[in-house]
Amino acid sequence: MNIPEEGYLLRIFIGESDRHGHRTLYESIVLQAREAGLAGATVLRGVMGFGKHSVLHTAKILRLSEDLPMVIEIVDSLEKIESFLPVLDELIKDGLVTVEKARVIHYRA
């Protein structure tokens, strides 16, 4: 698989407790990205954050630590990213999705 030097970064911000069916939402997104043939996906767990409703989620407060912020990053061509956006629209009920240009330096298997 080859990513052009001018790739695009798809970044998805959701909560750790968000679900799609019987799976966590981040797992469903990564599996759908793999099925769609995207170059790769990485899931990152945040230690603190807040979103649209200004509710603070942090690992420091035990009762809120169940819903830490999650970020999924995918880098690929603009065409592949754009073709994946309708899938995300079906999966994500609450969250933030961004796309930005990314200069790809290395992509080696």
Over residues 54-101, the pLDDT tens digits come to: 777 777 756 545 688 999 999 999 999 999 999 999 999 999 999 999
pLDDT tens-digit readout, 17-62: 999 999 999 999 999 999 999 999 999 998 888 888 777 777 775 6
Task: Write down the residue that tokens 């169940």 correspond to.
Answer: 66
Instruction: State residue 84's pLDDT score.
Output: 98
Structural domain that includes position 33: 6-103
pLDDT given for residue 97 in this prediction: 98
Kindly state whether residue 71 falls inside one of the protein's structural domains.
Answer: yes
1 in a structural domain: no
**Is 65 a domain residue?**
yes
Domain of 93: which CATH number?
3.30.70.120
Q: Tell me whether residue 81 is in a domain.
A: yes
What domain count does the chain have?
1
